[in-house]
Structure 1
Amino acid sequence: MPKQWFAVRTKPRKESVARDQLENQGFEVYLPLVNRRITHARKVSWQPRPFFSGYLFVHLGVDERRWSSIRSTVGVLAPVSFGSFYPPIPDSAIGMLQSSQDENGFIAISGTPRAPFASGEAVRLRDSSLKGLEGVFVEMRGDDRALILLDWMQKKIRVETTIDNLSSTT
């Protein structure tokens, strides 16, 4: 019987530790990663993060399904199971994840929604207490929010507002 993929739950933020420990035991492991933009204390960095937080995948043949050994591995909580049944993950699902990786090994996802305005485009606030003020579109913040830069009282003010609240000045 050919090998099958199985999901394994990991301890919080211990996916890499669990992957390394399972690989040291000779298991074939797949931990899909994304390159996430992290903002902390006004500093922006890009860091690898698991695509499925708290999970990784192990490729096992029938003779390799040592569930107690996997369960007792550092960083692992338990293989995903329903009672004594360990559901396999279709090869096509893992193949789809692997085929969507970029040249650096990260799952390629769009982290920024498509912006209705170009960065630097002049915009006007339509509603709110700042109605009528003009500013410059900076970037999207989530699916429906935007960051704009207002020039108000000789100061640049960063304002976050909904996209529906903006219109182009042209």
Structure 2
Amino acid sequence: MKIPAALDWYAVSTKPKCEDIAVRGLERLKATTFLPLYTEEVRRRCKRITKMRRLFPGYVFIGLAPWHMPWQAICEVNGVHGVVSFGRVPALIPGAIITGLQAAHIMGSFDIQPQIVTYRPGADVRITDGPFAGFPARVHEARGTDKIAVLFSIFGSSERIIELQLDDLALVA
């Protein structure tokens, strides 16, 4: 999406989780919109998935020509809560800020990359999630890219090998 330089930029507050609805409505009013997103890898049901998230939840940027500012119509768009203002004057956002945000958005600068931690066999770790959270363990071997086998002892019993997700472990310093 190319942003025209001759626009005045403003922030519009949206109703909770209604950014997409607000964008569609604002675009019907011929406003240029910008909704910066980022990707994040999350775990759902033991699988890693990539989710698109809003960089500024609850806000959308709109670009309007200086002679075309239909504030009343903007506030009546479905999903819009109001225009961010100082008193009764809508807050103008410098175009350079929007241009910088868009450039960073296109380059993926806001995307969250998963942390890659390497566990060596014999390293002491602490289990951080699940029924054994808080218990110490020792790395036995890596199994694939996202699982690890650890030696685990509970209540002084003999050590057993259990398989855990990498996200469920933390190195002990």
| TM-score between both structures, scaled by the size of structure 1 | 0.72
Which residue of 24, 30, 42 corresponds with 1:20?
24
How many Å apart are 1:40 and its aligned residue? 2.9
Does structure 2 retain, via aligned residues, the 8 Å contact 1:10–1:75?
yes
How many Å apart are 1:161 and its aligned residue? 5.2
Does structure 2 retain, via aligned residues, the 8 Å contact 1:32–1:107?
no
Pairing 1:86-101 to 2, within 5 Å after superposition: 86-101=90-105
Does structure 2 retain, via aligned residues, the 8 Å contact 1:7–1:55?
yes
How many Å apart are 1:66 and its aligned residue? 1.1
- Cα distance in 2 for partners of 1:137, 1:87 equals 56
Structure 1 residues 109 and 10, CA, compared in 2 at 3 Å: closer, same or farther?
A: same
Q: Secondary structure at the match of 2:85?
A: coil
Pairing 1:115-154 to 2, within 5 Å after superposition: 115=116, 117-118=117-118, 120-122=119-121, 123-125=123-125, 130=136, 133-135=137-139, 149-152=149-152, 153-154=159-160
How many Å apart are 1:156 and its aligned residue? 1.4
- For residue 101 of structure 1, what is the amino acid of its counterpart? H
Match of 1:72 in 2: 76
Report the count of equivalent residues. Answer: 148
Residues 136-166 of structure 1: per-residue CA shift (max 9 Å, x gap): 698xxxxxxxx96523344314384554x24
| 1:53 aligned onto 2:52 | no
RMSD: 2.9
- Cα distance in 1 for partners of 2:111, 2:125 equals 31
Structure 1 residues 134 and 30, CA, compared in 2 at 3 Å: closer, same or farther?
A: same
Which residue of 112, 127, 136 corresponds with 1:110?
112
Identity %: 24
Residues 55-84 of structure 1: per-residue CA shift (max 9 Å, x gap): 010001222211111000011100101221
- For residue 99 of structure 2, what is the amino acid of its counterpart? G
- For residue 155 of structure 1, what is the amino acid of its counterpart? I
Q: Secondary structure at the match of 1:73?
A: coil
- For residue 82 of structure 2, what is the amino acid of its counterpart? A
Q: Which 5+ residue runs of structure 2 have no aligned equivalent?
A: 1-5, 127-133, 153-158
How many Å apart are 1:47 and its aligned residue? 2.4
Superposed structure 1 runs of 4+ greater than 6 Å apart? none
Does structure 1 retain, via aligned residues, the 8 Å contact 2:9–2:64?
yes
Q: Secondary structure at the match of 1:96?
A: helix
| 1:155 aligned onto 2:161 | yes
| TM-score between both structures, scaled by the size of structure 2 | 0.70
- For residue 109 of structure 1, what is the amino acid of its counterpart? D
